């Protein structure tokens, strides 16, 4: 799947700057595909309270607890687990990206969005 995605997504040469809008599906795919060629883009530690509009790249299954960022997120009705909305995003009519959205418990317009490529 990733090799097919690389064929129709143009690579990036530098990490995109922060901006005050959501990335499109194509932009997310470009960032994730380009990160494989730029290991210097990957973060090795979680920053407490990262600023709004910041973008960080982590290896998803590397044992880094990237969800422990210090913010208070909405919880499920039972109150034990954080409420995550899972999505599948399409690029060129093909489901290529999985995502997770979490809403702030304090500021309704503040979200944490996590994306990864399907294998």
pLDDT tens for the chain, residues 1 to 119: 454 554 556 666 666 676 777 888 998 898 888 888 888 888 888 888 888 888 888 887 775 677 888 899 999 988 888 999 999 999 989 999 999 999 999 998 888 888 999 87
Radius of gyration of the chain (CA): 15
pLDDT of residue 65: 75
- Residue of 22, 98, 21, 108 whose CA lies nearest to 72: 108
**Number of structural domains the chain divides into:** 1
pLDDT of residue 5: 53
Task: Please tell me the pTM assigned to this model.
Answer: 0.77
- Residue of 101, 97, 113, 112 whose CA lies nearest to 32: 97
What pairs with residue 90 in β-bridges?
A: 95
Domain extent, residue 60, equals 2-117
Q: What angle do CA 62, 66, 68 make, to 5 degrees?
A: 135
Q: How far is 47 from 104, CA to CA, in rounded Å?
A: 17
């Amino acid at each position: 799947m990733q090799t097919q995605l690389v064929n129709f997504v143009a690579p990036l040469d530098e990490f995109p700057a922060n901006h005050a809008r959501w990335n499109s599906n194509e932009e997310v795919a470009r960032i994730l595909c380009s990160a494989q060629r730029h290991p210097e883009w990957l973060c090795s530690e979680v920053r407490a309270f990262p600023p709004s509009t910041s973008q960080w790249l982590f290896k998803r299954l590397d044992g880094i607890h990237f969800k422990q960022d210090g913010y208070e997120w909405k919880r499920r009705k039972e109150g034990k687990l954080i409420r995550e909305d899972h999505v599948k995003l399409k690029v060129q009519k093909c489901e290529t990206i999985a995502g997770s959205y979490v809403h702030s418990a304090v500021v309704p317009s503040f979200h944490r969005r996590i994306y990864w490529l399907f294998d």
